[in-house]
Amino acid sequence: MRPVEIGLDGLLCLLLLVLAWKALRAPHLYQSAIYFIALGLVMALAWVRLAAPDVALAEAAIGTGLLGVLLIDSLRVFARDSKTDPDAESEEPPPGEINVYPAGSARPSGRTLPMILVTASCGLLAILLVEAIIELPDGGGLTAAAQENLERSGVDHPVTAVLLNYRGYDTWLEVGVLLLAMLGIFCAGGRVGFAETRQSNPPGHLLSWLIRALAPLMILAAAYLLWLGKLAPGGAFQSGVILGSAGILLRLAGFQVISRLPPLAVKLGLLLGFGVFLIFGGAALLTGRAFLEYPEARAGELILLVETAAAVSIGFTIFAFFAYLNSRDQPEAQENHAREEGGNQKP
């Protein structure tokens, strides 16, 4: 390894530690969120240095872009809640300054017992991870086996082969976790989140022009990444996140997204990924193969189909997370929802 590379990697490690600490200890939760986004970016770079572009793409898209939007938006909701609370500490900026921190974003003081528990758990996890790295067999464990069977898997990229063929079961359950999280949100707040309201202050012409121009490009990029997953880093998750982000951007610019679609289409979109996996798995069982085992001759096409369904569902789910957060507690949304429900109910 050349000295330049050692220096670069050392700098990345140092930056990761500093940013993680800053994210934990910044005086405002808003600052924490920003540090967390920076942490995700550096983490993506670290994955690139570890020659894992698939993980880097996912980290940059999910860990940085999406999570950042969700965190900052959550803080905005907290700020709105604390504004209506008369006991809330008001943080009026000194005259002549702009208060960049939303009200109620000051970090709550930590309690000792949870802090100790969390620290102990993290320490234990770190020890286990270090042990796992020490016990890693020479030659990277299953890499050789994955490469050997690549020809029979239906795709040319080992990561996609592992995700969709060798370990399709894991990916299926991951899509299931997303679906469960979405159902959890529905249970916690009802379906109010889907009643979209027009934003009170629409963004300027320039911003809505940019988003109008970018949204089709993003859909194109999502399709490209999906197709690329067959032979290079890319695939359902990255593609789904880009689809979801396109929806979020449109939503931020005040465009109606979900309410333009028939409700059945939305539900189908959310369920598609999990359902297609399940149907294929069941069909494989019925024809005497193992669960989620693809027939070798058609594996490529089937994987593409499953991936497409998964990407659409991931995109819908991610957008639904945001749409829910974004319109929670908006009286107008609740009214719309109540009217809709009332219209549907029959005595």
Partner 1 sequence: MTPADAATIVFCLAGAVFFLAGTVGLLRFPDIFSRLHALTKADNLGLGLIVIGLVFQAESIAGAFKLLLIWGLALAAGSNTCYAIGRYALERLPEKGPKEVEK
Instruction: Please pick, from the candidates 98, 133, 264, 297, the single residue that binds partner 1 as defined by CB under 8 A.
Output: 98
Contact window for partner 1 (CB under 8 A) among 161-169, 174-182, 207-215, 300-308: 207-215
In angstroms, what CA-CA distances link 153 with 1, 98, 285, 297? 34, 57, 18, 9
Minimal distance in Å, beta carbon 160 to partner 1?
22
Q: Residue 28 — φ and ψ, nearest 5°?
A: -115, 140
Contact set for partner 1, span 303-342 (CB under 8 A): none
Question: What does 224-257 look like in DSSP terms, one character per residue?
Answer: HHHHHTTTSS--HHHHHHHHHHHHHHHHHTT---
Count, residues in the chain: 347
Give me the residues paired with residue 106 across strands.
28
Nearer to partner 1, 113 or 213 (CB): 213
Rule CB under 8 A: say whether 210 interacts with partner 1: yes
Rule CB under 8 A: say whether 92 interacts with partner 1: no
Query: Which has the closest alpha carbon to 302: 326, 288, 318, 283?
Result: 283
Q: Residue 295 — φ and ψ, nearest 5°?
A: -65, 135
Instruction: Please pick, from the candidates 96, 137, 262, 347, the single residue that binds partner 1 as defined by CB under 8 A.
Output: 96
Minimal distance in Å, beta carbon 220 to partner 1?
12
| Look-up of token digits 């299931």 | 176
Q: How far apart are CA 123 and CA 126, in angstroms?
A: 5
Contact set for partner 1, span 166-205 (CB under 8 A): 203-204
Rule CB under 8 A: say whether 122 interacts with partner 1: no
Minimal distance in Å, beta carbon 321 to partner 1?
23
Instruction: Please pick, from the candidates 16, 26, 207, 228, the single residue that binds partner 1 as defined by CB under 8 A.
Output: 207
Residue type (1 letter), 26: A
Rule CB under 8 A: say whether 100 interacts with partner 1: yes
> Is 196 within 8 Å of 327 (Cβ atoms)?
yes
Q: Which two tokens stand for residue 202?
A: 């629409």
x-or-dash pattern for partner 1, window 211-250, by CB under 8 A? --xx------------------------------------
In angstroms, what CA-CA distances link 72 with 29, 67, 145, 257? 9, 9, 43, 21
Nearer to partner 1, 4 or 213 (CB): 213
**Contacts with partner 1: how many residues (CB under 8 A)?**
12
> Is 29 within 8 Å of 105 (Cβ atoms)?
yes
Instruction: Please pick, from the candidates 1, 4, 113, 206, the single residue that binds partner 1 as defined by CB under 8 A.
Output: 206
Contact set for partner 1, span 1-60 (CB under 8 A): none
Q: Which residues bind partner 1 (CB under 8 A)?
A: 95-98, 100, 203-204, 206-207, 210, 213-214
